[in-house]
Amino acid sequence: MAVFRVSLLLPLLLSSVLLMNRPVICDTDEDDDLFQRINSYRASLNLTTLTRNENAECLADEMAEQFKNQPCTNSTGANTVPGTETQLSNYPTLLTKCHLNVSNTRDGAVLPACVPNLVPSLVVSNFTQSQYSENLNDTKYTGIGIGSEGNWMVVVLSTSTPEGSFATDTSANLVSKIHPLYHLLFLPMVAFFLL
């Protein structure tokens, strides 16, 4: 029976989590590199250091996942003509996945860039020397989440106001909707992917 097999697997998976001395949020080197470079850029302008925002990071990862199969062109990512940005129809789903609510993300900024092979120097200039510099120059942003997939790098900026805090949404009562067993199953599965 499926339930029986799962219950056999569970201790095994759980122990693999315990043995694994890794934080749940695991960044790629590219993401860390960009994080440092963006903060150096901010420092050069005497702006505050952006701190990591886990929920913004979750959204950045989800967005990168959506973009990853789109090729880079001269009208994608940082080259996008303002006003013609790709609207993801499943954006609300992505927000829900990250326990976010549009009421606390609306003042944030989502900045997707497409750079073949994510060449670090080009990635950073796609943010600091494009239309996106307007956002990076802005004092209202205090937090950052970075995600990358394929040739896409997504930066999500958060503010310290309620409208852009990217605070975990509790209004939807997400926790009670999900059966506790799913949490148990989900965690080892996530860990498995990270292995």
Ligand X SMILES: *[C@@H]1O[C@H](CO)[C@@H](O)[C@H](O)[C@H]1NC(C)=O
Q: Report the residue number, 78 or 156, with the smaller CB distance to ligand X.
A: 78
Q: Which two tokens stand for residue 87?
A: 């609207």
Cα separation, 113 vs 58, in Å, equals 17
Closest CB to ligand X among 60 and 191?
60
Closest approach of ligand X to the CB of residue 182, in Å? 19
| C-beta nearest to ligand X: residue | 125
Q: Which is nearer to ligand X, 21 or 46 (CB)?
A: 46
Least Å from the CB of residue 1 to ligand X? 36
Residues that bind ligand X (CB under 6 A): 45-46, 72, 74, 78, 101, 103, 114-116, 122, 125-126, 129-130, 133-134, 137, 169, 171-172
Q: Token pair of 89, please? A: 């129809």
Question: Cβ 76 to ligand X, closest distance in Å?
Answer: 8
> Please, what is the minimum distance in Å from the beta carbon of residue 5 to ligand X?
35
